[in-house]
Amino acid sequence: MKPTHIEHIGIAVKSLKESIPYYENILGLKCYSIEEVADQKVRTAFFMVGQTKLELLEPMSEDSTIAAFIEKRGEGIHHMAFAVKELPDVLAEVENKGVRLIDKAPRKGAEGLNIAFLHPKSTGGVLTELCEKPEQE
Ligand code: ZN
């Protein structure tokens, strides 16, 4: 695997409404998109910093993994996402190297990206997401 850059950093928050003002008023970033990712039961807000995004994740229900994360560890950095090419091949490659996969095959994430998560038990405690932009425009 050879990531091209950090695609985004995922940050778990209790409330987008309460968290967005820090990013806009203190960091001076602009929230350019709010999107619901139904199958992960989260509402996301995106900010651009250079070519890296910040993705705020607000749980939409109690049984969301983000709700469980906040319950256990509080608000804060949830995952790191690397941009890669040939995601299915990369998943096969890292699985061969003994990495535990949360997603055996890519699925659709926010912003239409193909994504897959690696298990934090295999990544030094950092929940790791791999993202690939689909080919078509
Ligand atoms: Zn993410």
56 backbone φψ class: left, alpha, beta (φ>0; ψ -120 to 50): beta
Nearest-angstrom CA–CA distance, 58 and 64: 9
What 3-state DSSP class applies to 26? Answer: helix
Give the DSSP letter string of 96-127: HTTPPBS-SS-EE-GGG-EEEEE-GGGTTT--
Instruction: Give me ligand 1 centre to Cα 58, in Å.
Output: 12
CATH code of the domain made up of 5-132:
3.10.180.10
pLDDT tier at 136, thresholds 50, 70, 90:
low
pLDDT digits (tens, 9 = 90+) for 48-90: 999 999 999 999 999 999 999 999 999 999 999 999 999 999 9
Instruction: Give me ligand 1 centre to Cα 32, in Å.
Output: 16
Within 10 Å of residue 89's Cβ, how many Cβ atoms?
11
Instruction: Give me ligand 1 centre to Cα 98, in Å.
Output: 23
Instruction: List, as ranges, residues with CB under 5 A of the ion ligand 1.
Output: 10, 81, 129
Q: Is the pTM of this model over 0.85?
A: yes
CB 92 within 8 A of CB 77: no
The token duo for 48 is 């651009």
Nearest-angstrom CA–CA distance, 42 and 22: 20
Is residue 137 over pLDDT 60? no
Is residue 135 over pLDDT 90? no
